Structure 1
């Protein structure tokens, strides 16, 4: 099955994505969603085991997949041939692994000086922690970000692995690739990108860094945007569901309390009143179902929204109207973002095997020989 409709701002950009955990595939998905031709390189055994069935993983949409034995000289040689015809390589190994395999930046720049070599790790390519293992929770911990997440008096709470893996890692790498593509158009030369999740997580919290250094930021869970304030928190409804309240500005707050029928509330500008305000709001929100409150606030500027389960989100009227979610291969998933108006929709088919690799510079006879030797799947 051939992928079609490779249009968009990245049409014509070829990406080799070395298979790995979430951040690498996410970066590849972001590029494929906007027109790049992404060839995912997996282990031979994994591709052989999958057979001809399309890959249903959301982050593999719009890609093609091959298996290549990168521990064999023939496999490394084939990868270099593919890299010679690529614009971007996404590599997800610990520092030094790609070099030992013979597919590090210097190895590939020798065959393609224009290549953009994107490296994504937790700790980066240098520093005391660079050679050690870690996960999202470790990277956001060392960046200082995790210390700021959670309710007052409770342990720091990681927001699953969004901040390190995806926002601080995969998205930052995709951004780095775009920067390098712009630079290459001017200089004609490739670039190595060192995308470290600890760096990316720290950058995402730039807004809060100055306050923390000057003791403006209070302990976690006591500030305006971290559930410390009653006007920026979640509340349970009578049916065990939840509402998100973001009525920060005075006029939004006034509209919310008016629609709720509340009066004689303590002054919200006095922090000593926050516990009493939270109790009044909790009692009020707990008196009706989520659906009843949705009807109350529908179309208002009260900044009150239902906390939707993932299974509900695609059916929300706003998300349906905008097409925030799409269905690909029977799997409901987020549509590509951001949107570039006037650009045709991309082909988001589940990842399949390419018909052949001749367009990537691998001759048919070489491909046949590698397949027969078990080096290529």
Structure 2
């Protein structure tokens, strides 16, 4: 993909949010030069499994990138960055607020050299506010955003997520959108700009439906009270052999197909009644129905039925699923199998 051919990015980030963002940009054709410390290697590089001295995760995040080792505490390295920004006019960095400026490579310093510079800072809490200098990780940003509170079972502890929602859906994706918006702005006005990405802000913005309702004076989101967090039959159901099926049959036509497959047509009226008492009755009946047969049985039953019912797959099962194989969600980089870019540009 060459959609972003001509964009040249200096990437000073490590770990996940910044590298994931620049990986997306590189896969769309941008030239990315990753600037790394010669004395403090990216912690992701040391994860297992190792392939030729680099972890599989590091190789995934750094595909299609070039690399340069610079000690930013060395004036010669700072001079090198000043030289590079005459050619590379998009910056991505992930240090705490003020660090890049103290090193002589902050936005003001680089803008003085190249007024068209687009400078994107990704941090946990943003460049302002009382938490601006506070350390954090994905679990902390999600906790403060309000998302975790209602994304759990009633009366049970929150569950740590298996992927970094605030880092990727918050930091990485919002950074890419903001950078591309700034590129369009620069193309029309000739002006660069500074971008302040807070992963906590971005996670809070993911409260798009429940949060909008609460802000408008509606109910505050609580565990298992909403349409999408277990308050309705939209949920996961255990099968006879301990696997799970995901049921998302909210619309009437999908409810009809679901109930027909489960031999529960008598619940049609209760299914469309979203009051707690009716939904509890429907959920109990659906749960009992799924427990009567195995995971493979239900996979076969719903394989040809358009009811918004799908199996909960392991990662290995997912990568071999007929739909994901057809979409080419993995690719080979030499002998190493990796995740493919999640977009198609034609």
Normalising by structure 2, what TM-score? Answer: 0.90
Tell me the equivalent position of 1:205: 207
Tell me the equivalent position of 1:165: 167
Q: Which has the higher contact order (CA 8 A, sep 6+)?
A: 1
CA distance in 2, matches of 1:77, 1:52: 32
CA distance in 2, matches of 1:128, 1:194: 15
8 Å contact kept, 2:13–2:95? no
Summarize the alignment of residues 119-158 of structure 1 with structure 2, pairs less than 5 Å apart.
Answer: 119-158=121-160
Summarize the alignment of residues 229-308 of structure 1 with structure 2, pairs less than 5 Å apart.
Answer: 229-230=232-233, 232-265=234-267, 267-268=270-271, 269=273, 270-308=275-313
* Offset, 1:199: 1.4
8 Å contact kept, 2:244–2:295? yes
Tell me the equivalent position of 1:191: 193
* Offset, 1:157: 3.6
Summarize the alignment of residues 22-101 of structure 1 with structure 2, pairs less than 5 Å apart.
Answer: 22-45=16-39, 46=41, 56=56, 57=58, 58-101=60-103
CA distance in 1, matches of 2:54, 2:189: 39
> Which residue, out of 323, 334, 337, partners 1:332?
337
Q: Are residues 51 and 190 of structure 1, via their aligned partners in 2, closer, same or farther at CA, if it must alter by over 3 Å?
A: farther
Tell me the equivalent position of 2:328: 323
Q: Are residues 330 and 309 of structure 1, via their aligned partners in 2, closer, same or farther at CA, if it must alter by over 3 Å?
A: farther
Q: Are residues 142 and 80 of structure 1, via their aligned partners in 2, closer, same or farther at CA, if it must alter by over 3 Å?
A: same
- Please, which moves more after superposition, 54-63 or 78-87? 54-63
* Offset, 1:329: 4.2
Tell me the equivalent position of 1:20: 14
CA deviation profile, 1:97-122 (whole Å, cap 9, x unmatched): 10111110011112211111110001
State the secondary structure of the residue aligned to 2:114.
coil
CA distance in 2, matches of 1:279, 1:263: 14
8 Å contact kept, 1:149–1:158? no
Tell me the equivalent position of 1:11: 5
State the secondary structure of the residue aligned to 1:29.
helix
State the secondary structure of the residue aligned to 1:120.
strand
Tell me the equivalent position of 2:223: 220
Q: Are residues 330 and 149 of structure 1, via their aligned partners in 2, closer, same or farther at CA, if it must alter by over 3 Å?
A: farther
8 Å contact kept, 2:150–2:221? no
Normalising by structure 1, what TM-score? Answer: 0.83
- Please, which moves more after superposition, 90-99 or 268-277? 268-277
CA deviation profile, 1:218-239 (whole Å, cap 9, x unmatched): 5221211002212x11111122
* Offset, 1:316: 0.4
- Please, which moves more after superposition, 239-248 or 92-101? 239-248
State the secondary structure of the residue aligned to 1:84.
coil
CA distance in 2, matches of 1:54, 1:145: 34
8 Å contact kept, 2:174–2:202? yes
* Offset, 1:132: 1.1
8 Å contact kept, 1:42–1:66? yes
CA distance in 2, matches of 1:156, 1:54: 33
Q: Kindly report the root-mean-square deviation, in angstroms, between the aligned alpha carbons of the 2 structures.
A: 2.3
8 Å contact kept, 1:122–1:196? yes
8 Å contact kept, 2:246–2:311? yes
* Offset, 1:158: 4.6
CA distance in 2, matches of 1:308, 1:250: 26
* Offset, 1:70: 0.9
Between the two proteins, the alignment pairs up a number of residues equal to 334
State the secondary structure of the residue aligned to 1:9.
coil
CA deviation profile, 1:259-286 (whole Å, cap 9, x unmatched): 2223433712142032332222122112
CA distance in 2, matches of 1:51, 1:335: 19
State the secondary structure of the residue aligned to 1:264.
helix
State the secondary structure of the residue aligned to 2:266.
coil
